[in-house]
Amino acid sequence: MPFRTKLAILLWVSAATISLRYVFGDLQTFGEQQYLEYITPYISYFSLAHILVLALLYKSARSVLSGRTAAIALLISTIALSAPGDLLLTRWWLAIILLWAWSLATLHREIIHKSSTGDYFLHIIIILGLVEALIGLTQYALQHSLGLSLLGEPVANVETLGVAKVVVSGVKMLRPFGTFAHANVFGGFIVVSILALLSQRSALSRTVQQITLGILLFGVLFSYSRSAWIATVLICAIFMAKLGWRSFAAPIATLLIAAALFFPPLFSRFELNQNPQQLDVRALSTGYALESIVESPLGLGFRQFIPRLLDAYPDQRDYYYQPAHNVALLLASELGIFGFVLLIVIVAGLLRRYRATSMAIVVLLVLSLGSFDHYLVTLPQGLGILGLIFLVGLVPRVTATQSDQTF
């Protein structure tokens, strides 16, 4: 495999883990302009990495742009550039998504045609997932960040406002976040790493793979992300059916012991009165999403959910203005019923290329991670995770006859 291909894959996967928003601190120090606060993090490393991927894989990138694809891209670009000045954020987001989709299709072409590329792709995800899990577990043990701002790690401790925490008997505990903007995003990436580990066909010993799986499972457990817990259970159930339960006995037994030892904080994630304020926030955004779908069936406009929410409820505190914590509701409210249906048709057409098991895994992952949060479509790191889910689904799965070589 050429070095440029290896570098391109490394750049693409790492773009899902690094955000320069936290390298340079609070961007509000540069001024009060809203576009600096929101856009600069999005067009920094994420966009640069995808541009470099397209440059490194120039031949594949060029072949992806068929006449029909180029026409669609041109149409979307025209709409984006013609948006009014006050929709600057919308225009930038459309440009970022186009860049992401183009590099995603380019990497897709590399993976489906070369098995060695697919294996290397999975190994990079596993390695970065293992690193993130170890960073997150260390953050949880120390209850503060590790000073890894060059990797995009937020600077935070248990007293930092706006950082995800759990409260047990009045005691606050910091939820680990790795180099991600939030603990839920951290949990989502670890879930994809687990999927990559179970999908790969390397010659690593069973002991090494089970230790790796154990660390990744611990990362998901202590992320306190309920959506990540659900996704992990679904993935492990599917692969247990294929590989047998003995392959998962040691790491899951260790995980259950840890869950028993940390039962109070883990169980607190299922208490409705744990964070009544957050429930109010979600109720407001979810209610407005449903209301807007009925009253504005043509959609609020791409990336216009929060501005419209602000107009509808101007007297709320700042932290109440968040996207709906459900990807389907958020997209349906912004794109409108027709736009959302068209998006579903396009995605369904793409999923036809997947094997039945791969299709089931991709759909279940997106549903479990996207039903209770919005980061898959509202954060660059979330877009990166979403792309990884679709790409991992293209790599050939292990079968029962391969179980001795893997687990």
pLDDT tens-place string over residues 147-177: 888 787 888 888 887 788 887 777 888 999 9
Distances (CA, A) of 195 to 38, 161, 215: 31, 33, 14
Among residues 178, 276, 272, the alpha carbon closest in space to that of 222 is found at 178
Angle, CA 7 vertex, CA 3 and CA 10 arms, to 5°: 140
Q: For position 100, what pLDDT does the model report?
A: 86
CA of residue 293 relative to chain centroid, distance: 25
CA of residue 236 relative to chain centroid, distance: 19
Q: For position 398, what pLDDT does the model report?
A: 42
Residue ranges in 32-182 assigned as alpha helix (H): 34-42, 45-56, 58-64, 67-81, 88-113, 115-142
Q: For position 61, what pLDDT does the model report?
A: 82
Q: For position 223, what pLDDT does the model report?
A: 92
The values of phi and psi at residue 157, to 5°, are: -145, -170
Query: In the numeric block, which tokens belong to residue 51?
Result: 């541009």
Give the span between the Cα atoms of 24 and 128, in whole angstroms: 22
17, 189 in Cβ contact below 8 A?
A: yes
Q: For position 138, what pLDDT does the model report?
A: 96
Tell me which residues of the chain have a pLDDT lower than 50: 24-39, 41-42, 82-86, 397-407
Q: For position 386, what pLDDT does the model report?
A: 93
Residues β-bridged to residue 167: 172
Q: For position 359, what pLDDT does the model report?
A: 83
Q: For position 87, what pLDDT does the model report?
A: 59
Residue ranges in 262-355 assigned as alpha helix (H): 263-267, 276-295, 305-312, 327-351
Q: For position 83, what pLDDT does the model report?
A: 47
- How do residues 189-232 score in pLDDT, each as one tens digit? 999 999 999 887 665 677 888 888 889 999 999 999 999 999 99
Give the span between the Cα atoms of 291 and 289, in whole angstroms: 5
Q: For position 271, what pLDDT does the model report?
A: 67
pTM score, two decimals? 0.87
CA of residue 273 relative to chain centroid, distance: 27
**3-state SS, residue 171:** strand
Task: Output DSSP code: residue 180.
Answer: S
Q: For position 116, what pLDDT does the model report?
A: 74
